[in-house]
Chains A and B, each alone.
Chain A
Amino acid sequence: MALRDRQGRPLVAVTGMGVVTSLGQGKDDTWAALTAGKSGIHRINRFPTEGLRTTIAGTIDHVDVEPFCAPMLSERLAMLAAEEAVGQSGLSQESFPGALFMAVPPVEMEWPQREALAEASGQTGDVTYKDLLKAAATGRFKPWHDLFIFGTVADRVADRFGTRGSPISLSTACSSGATAIQLGVEAIRRGEADAALCIGTDGSVNPESLIRFSLLSALSTQNDNPEGASKPFSKNRDGFVMGEGGAALVLENAESAKARGATILGYVLGCGEKGDGFHRTRSSPDGMPAITAIRQALEDAGLSPDDIDYINAHGTSTPENDKMEAMSCTAVFGERMANLPISSNKSMIGHTLTAAGAVEAVMSLLTLGTGRIPPTINYQVPDPAIPLDVVPNMARDAKVTYVLSNSFGFGGQNTCLVFGAEPK
């Protein structure tokens, strides 16, 4: 088998994967729950929810960090996923032979820290930022500089695994995890390195981030039955459910992976991306950016639409995304789309935002490895406007050689990846 693709570029193999979601820690636990159709969505008990329109999420509650805040939890989730992935690859845990590409949620100081500064300022009247700055000048809060600047999560992961060069922290909103993988693929194809550690992580379910999405009317408010709230492609879908997660993939030049006797779990065969200048939170009504991203990914992989056996959907459960995604897929795959399985992991783990593209990449590769397609759960009321085979409610076994994974983000960032059990 040639270890270069049709364009003469090195083939990119996946040799390690790790994941943590609200369904469990590690890919075995998560995969077992995901293919059993279990939901990880529950009532939020991390903070009081009185006064909120949405009171459910797929938080990860079994991981403790101190101080509890989004960058600390995101860092921990990334570490757990990366330990599993690098461990599986058999590469060095302390001196990883490649660069780090990391999708991280944008961080900022949170309310407990602002409150601590306000208290330390001694201000008993109206608190302003002048008071917070006065408290900051005491030097007592020095570690919070490091904690709340944007490059720290990746820097700590780079330290832990000894990755090479300057680590890249990135955001393309809800397609960030896929972009991290794309950057790794590109670096290997260019011959800059034989390996890349690509991670997506998000542990940012806190009151303000939840409220921000809530104020944009993006979240499901069907709080009564948390496990049933995320209903991608259903007629009664009413928004996404926030989730937390971390996922890591070890990518390698297939040639060097084989040379060292590594087990190849699958290949990243193609990447496609396309910007959308239509609106800050909505996609172009004609679906052209998503359609272009899918077509580019297929072309980059050297595949035709007929080659794809399964689509791991972006499938957020918002009225708009699912309609746009169905339309875009239909435009690319034509009549075949009525029978081409497409399912959404977000029906069970919620929308893990920055991590989603990476989490769903791991699930796509597990589908290739096991021949099992995880279902779209909570599919009770089909939407007649979206006649798709969403693999409703029950996992399905099928021969799957090529998978398309879609990620579409706020700000017009669309990224699609194609994975294969073998190169074509």
Chain B
Amino acid sequence: MRDVVITGIGLVSGAGEGLEAHLAALAVGGAPNTDATAFEPFPVHPVVALEWDRQIPKKSDQRQMEAWQRLGCYAAGLALDAAGAKDDAALKGRMQLIVSAGGGERDYAVDGQILTGLRQAENPGVFLNERLMGDLRPTLFLAQLSNLLAGNISIVHGVTGASRTFMGEESSGVDALRIARERIASGQDDIFLVGGAYNAERADVLLIYEMGGFLWKKPYASVWERPAEGGGMILGSGACFLVLESRAKPLAAVAGIASDRSRRRAGSVEEALHALSKQLGAKPDVVLSGATGIKGITEEEQAALKDIAPGVPVHATGNLVGHTMEAQAPTGVALAAGLIGEGRAGEALVTSIGHWRGEGAIRLIKA
């Protein structure tokens, strides 16, 4: 089996742009920037303002994407730059791509008008047809489709080996990394661009998680403090892409990735984390936790980490960038690689406990 290393990272979130900005914010600690008013009563971690032109030169491309795709496309460009691959057309032509993504993006005004009109409509089905035919922007579909973030990365950055898009919330981020790592380790492929993107500043995603009762509705508190007050997630906008390779000049090596889905019950997350860390042979000196702040699973993760990594610093990515769902695991891996690359850690464990299902862990070591 071949070693798999990280050679480029592209990271954007509310904590800034680029790995350095994130490592600096992690070192400083303190409360992150959250927006409590735009979607009151739901705080969100808004992404910092980005100069889109720097990674997505054509305005026509920018217009064809909604926010989650633009974020992902931008972060993918940063990762290619960091890996020194941006200008190597031949390399990008054989580079494989795995994206972890949701999708959606609604036209909120159109949805509201249709819902208002449906109430009075004589024939609601016909009314719906007419309004959708008349009011939906044809290109909105392409901004909704899950696999079109990958499509946009192929178009904008010329990464055209082949792409696959994994869906399924937090788990998809871990599994995208896992499959990429396995394909490089087994010698099937040499280089991958892997990552995810999430736009939290969207009423429709807040709606899904509010239906499930998963959102934190008070001023910002750390994920570790929230369970005592009922628990909940604060969603974050951001994106993270990594270039994984089998060759030199790495930041860190991806020693192992394990994922599973426990049948959730009291204690299952704690057991799963123990099993995953055992499977990986983890002996970390730093932990990057993807904890959500959801009551129950957050405390179980804390308890497991006390056994797995006693006395070791535990950083919650949720306290830095918010919960970026499909992009959460890649973000934790990027930060861990950064810490190892700077010599601030020798071995890191990244956890990803899904808010509803799915457990994952990633072990990084010095390359």
Are B115 and A114 in contact, CB atoms less than 8 angstroms apart?
Answer: yes
The reply to whether B154 and A149 contact each other, CB–CB distance below 8 Å, is no
Chain A residue at smallest Cβ distance from B126: A50
Q: Answer whether A207 and B128 are a contact pair too, CB < 8 Å, given A108-B103, A183-B179, A190-B186.
A: yes
**Residue ID in chain A nearest B129 by CB atoms:** A51
| Cβ-neighbour of A410 out of B148, B206, B210, B212 (below 8 A) | B148
Q: Chain B residues with Cβ under 8 A from A273's Cβ?
A: 162
A136 at the interface (CB under 8 A from B): yes
In the complex, identify which listed stretch (A209-217, A307-315, A382-390) lies at the interface while the others stay far away.
A209-217
A47's partner among B97, B125, B166 (CB-CB below 8 A) is: B125
Residues of B within 8 A of A352 (CB): none
Which residues of the other chain, A, contact B360 by a CB distance below 8 angstroms?
Answer: 166
Query: Within the assembled complex, what's the spacing in Å between the Cα atoms of A6 and B139?
Result: 46
Q: Which of A211, A213, A289 has the most CB of B within 10 A?
A: A211
Q: Indicate whether A169 reaches chain B with its CB closer than 8 angstroms.
A: yes
**A87 at interface, CB cutoff 8 A:** no
- Stretch in A72-80, A274-282, A362-370 touching the partner: A274-282
Asked if A133 is at the interface (CB within 8 A of a chain B CB), the reply is yes
**B213 within 8 Å of A (CB atoms):** yes
Given contacts A133-B207, A145-B211, contact A275 B166 (CB under 8 A): no
Tell me if A398 counts as interface (CB < 8 A to partner B).
no
Cα A165 to Cα B261 in complex, Å, equals: 6
> Is A215 within 8 A of B162, CB to CB?
no
Residue numbers in B under 8 Å from A172 (CB-CB): 147, 163-165
**Size bracket of the B interface:** 35 or more
A150 near B161 with CB under 8 A, answer no
Which of A122-130, A243-251, A342-350 contacts the other chain?
Answer: A122-130
B188 in contact with A186 (CB, 8 Å): yes
Cα A111 to Cα B367 in complex, Å, equals 51
> 8 Å CB contacts to B: which residues of A156-175?
158-159, 165-173
Asked whether, in the complex, the Cβ of B129 is within 8 Å of the Cβ of A211, the reply is yes
Q: Evaluate whether A106 and B118 lie within 8 angstroms (CB atoms) in the complex, with A136-B211, A151-B358 already known.
A: no
**How many residues in A have their beta carbons less than 8 Å from beta carbons of B?**
82
**Given A171-B147, A215-B133, residue A166 in contact with residue B213 (CB < 8 A):** no
Inter-chain contacts of A266 with B (CB < 8 A):
none
A133 to B160, CA, bound (A): 40
When the two chains form their complex, are residues B151 and A412 in contact, meaning their CB atoms are under 8 A apart? yes
> How distant is the Cα of A132 from the Cα of B112 in the complex, in angstroms?
10
Give per-residue flags for A104-115: 1 if the beta carbon is below 8 A from chain B beta carbons, else 0: 101011010011
Name which of B115, B129, B169, B263 has the most chain A CB atoms within 10 A of its CB. B115
CB-nearest residue of chain A to B154: A277
- Contact of A104 with B167 at beta-carbon distance under 8 Å, contacts A115-B118, A142-B212 already known: yes
Does A214 contact B133, Cβ atoms closer than 8 Å? yes
Chain B hits for A215, CB < 8 A: 133, 136, 138, 141
Number of residue pairs spanning A and B whose beta carbons lie under 8 angstroms apart: 242
In the assembled complex, the CB of B169 is this many whole angstroms from the nearest CB of chain A, namely 5
**Residue B309, interface by CB 8 Å:** no
Residue of B nearest to A213 (CB): B141
Q: Which of A106, A145, A167 contacts B356 (CB 8 A)?
A: A145
Contact with A along B184-221 (1 / 0, CB 8 A): 00101000000000000001101111111110000000
Which residue in chain A gives the minimum CB-CB distance to B148? A411
CB pair B119–A413 under 8 Å, yes or no, is: no
Query: Which of chain B's residues has its CB closest to A154's CB?
Result: B168
Please tell me if the beta carbons of A280 and B142 are within 8 angstroms of each other in the complex: yes
Q: Which of A150, A169, A216, A410 has the most CB of B within 10 A?
A: A150
Asked whether any CB of chain A lies closer than 8 Å to the CB of B158, the reply is: yes
Q: Which of B250-275 contact A (CB under 8 A)?
A: 259-261, 263
A106 touching B183, Cβ below 8 Å: no
Q: Does A70 lie at the interface of the complex (its beta carbon under 8 Å from any beta carbon of B)?
A: no
A179 lies within 8 A of chain B by Cβ: yes
- Give 23 A-B contacts (CB < 8 Å), ordered by A residue: A48-B129, A49-B129, A50-B129, A111-B114, A144-B212, A145-B209, A150-B169, A151-B358, A165-B259, A167-B168, A169-B168, A170-B165, A171-B146, A179-B164, A207-B128, A211-B129, A212-B141, A215-B133, A216-B141, A275-B150, A289-B160, A413-B150, A413-B151
